[in-house]
Amino acid sequence: MKEKYAALFEAIELKHGGQLKNRFAMCPMVVFAADPATGRPTEEDIKYFERRSKFADLLLTGAITIQENIQGHPKQLALYTDDAIEVYSKLAEAMKSNGSKAIGQIQHPGREGAYGCYVTGKAYAPSAIAFPFLQYKVTELTEDEVWQVVKDFGLAARRLLKAGFDGVEIHGANHYLIQQFFSSYSNQREDYWGGSFEKRMNFAIEVTKEVLKVARAENPDAIVGYRISPEEIHGEMVGYTLDDSLKLIDKLLEQDLDFLDLSSAAGGNFGKDAYTYKAMPQKGDHTEPVSLVIKNFVGGRVPVVISGTIRSAADALDALNYGDVASMGVAALSDPDFKEKILADKEETIHMNVKGHTDDLELPAGLIEVYTAGIGLPQVEGLIEK
């Protein structure tokens, strides 16, 4: 390895679960391989992760839904019964087969649960708003149902830990239910869960409390992280600003979290250009990139994991100027040997071109299909026929 990359291999101590041996993470990514009938991982998921077990020390699954029939896609992972633990243990084993840490991302998609809505006629949301970008009506969660969702986040965490996962990441980003509760655009409630800025934070806080309580009761060393989209701004529509996020982050870090993971640093769009750890904030007086503002604000309380268009060894090294851990999505799909190539002094052979390499990549067929359909996922060269 070239000496200049040494910083990428400096360990960081976590509050729970030991240390991260290096500064690489694999972003949470739905890879469209789960069994549509049950949401359980299939052989395709397991092979995909085995192939990426050396990609990073911190490996995250794609979003795992925590209740039945709420998922966005039929091949998204789900975990809502104890009898699924056994098959999840195979996934944990594959992820940990080279000594990395396996983290399951737990999620409720809320209004984005298009497939669940197709099956049951219901997609849940904080408020029954007619969202112009949805082709279906949403169903407002009752107060009791919200508490049940909080409990189900905890249960999913417990099941993952029982399956041998080292920890979980609470998916508070990308416009899913937790973000929907935090957003003044999506949350128009007037109860414990909404009506003021303080109350719009309650759902994120209660889910975090519950997950921490249940996870640490199951395993005192459980790693618990939280993923946040730092801003929700689309033109005139302001769901929340970076300054709002900083207040929420403060509340979350009053609890015993192990890491903070930033997603979609340029406004929360799930599309091209939304992912860059160098993105500038859209509102407020900040003059530094979003990631750096958050890193400085967190001030070493927990490691900050950042992502977005990190595509080369030089990018990964540069990312450490903006965060503590460089997390990669597209690069993990395209070149699972990214880190090993840096170690072997062959970083110039790192590539983002899937075409011509598919035999060796163990990419699930469903992932390639979704890319071919083109739904605004970050570009993977060669995955889409141009």
Ligand X SMILES: Cc1cc2nc3c(=O)[nH]c(=O)nc-3n(C[C@H](O)[C@H](O)[C@H](O)COP(=O)(O)O)c2cc1C
Active site (catalytic) residues: 176
Please report the sign of the dihedral spanned by the C-alpha atoms of residue 141, residue 144, residue 145, residue 151: positive
| Residue whose Cβ sits closest to ligand X | 329
> Does 377 engage in binding with ligand X (CB under 6 A)?
yes
Q: How far is the CB of 176 from ligand X (least distance, A)?
A: 8
Which listed range, 16-24, 138-146, 167-175, 234-242, lies at the site for ligand X (CB under 6 A)? Answer: 167-175
Tokens of 281: 């904030």
Distance of alpha carbon 62 from the chain centroid: 7
Footprint (CB under 6 A) of ligand X, residues 197-216: none
> Does 62 engage in binding with ligand X (CB under 6 A)?
yes
> Does 170 engage in binding with ligand X (CB under 6 A)?
no
Footprint (CB under 6 A) of ligand X, residues 313-352: 328-331
Show the binding pattern over residues 20-59: x = contacts ligand X (CB under 6 A), - = does not.
-------xxxx-----------------------------
Q: Where are the alpha helices (DSSP H) in 127-241?
A: 143-162, 177-182, 197-200, 202-218
Residue number with CB closer to ligand X (171 or 295): 171
Phi, psi of 206 (to 5 degrees): -65, -40
Phi, psi of 331 (to 5 degrees): -65, -30
Footprint (CB under 6 A) of ligand X, residues 250-279: 263, 275
**Alpha carbons 112 and 176: distance in angstroms, whole number:** 7
Residue number with CB closer to ligand X (62 or 281): 62
> Does 363 engage in binding with ligand X (CB under 6 A)?
no
Q: How far is the CB of 152 from ligand X (least distance, A)?
A: 18
What is the C-alpha R_g of the chain? 19
Q: To 5 degrees, how large is the angle CA 161–CA 166–CA 170?
A: 75
- Pick from 39, 308, 323, 364: which binds ligand X (CB under 6 A)? 308
Q: How far is the CB of 142 from ligand X (least distance, A)?
A: 27
**Alpha carbons 222 and 27: distance in angstroms, whole number:** 19
Residue number with CB closer to ligand X (194 or 268): 268
Residue number with CB closer to ligand X (221 or 340): 340
Q: Which residues contact 348 (CB under 8 A, 6 or more apart)?
A: none
Give one DSSP letter per residue of 226-288, joined into a string. Answer: EEE-S-EEETTEEEE-HHHHHHHHHHHHTS---EEEE--TTTS-SSTTS--TTPPPSSSS--S
Residue number with CB closer to ligand X (30 or 242): 30
> Does 95 engage in binding with ligand X (CB under 6 A)?
no
> Residue holding tokens 């992280």?
225
- Pick from 127, 174, 180, 282: which binds ligand X (CB under 6 A)? 174
Residue number with CB closer to ligand X (100 or 307): 307
Tokens of 282: 């859209």
Counting residues that bind ligand X (by CB under 6 A) gives 23
> Does 63 engage in binding with ligand X (CB under 6 A)?
yes
Start-to-end C-alpha separation, the chain: 36
Residue numbers of the site for ligand X (CB under 6 A)? 27-30, 62-63, 105, 171, 173-174, 227, 263, 275, 307-310, 328-331, 377-378
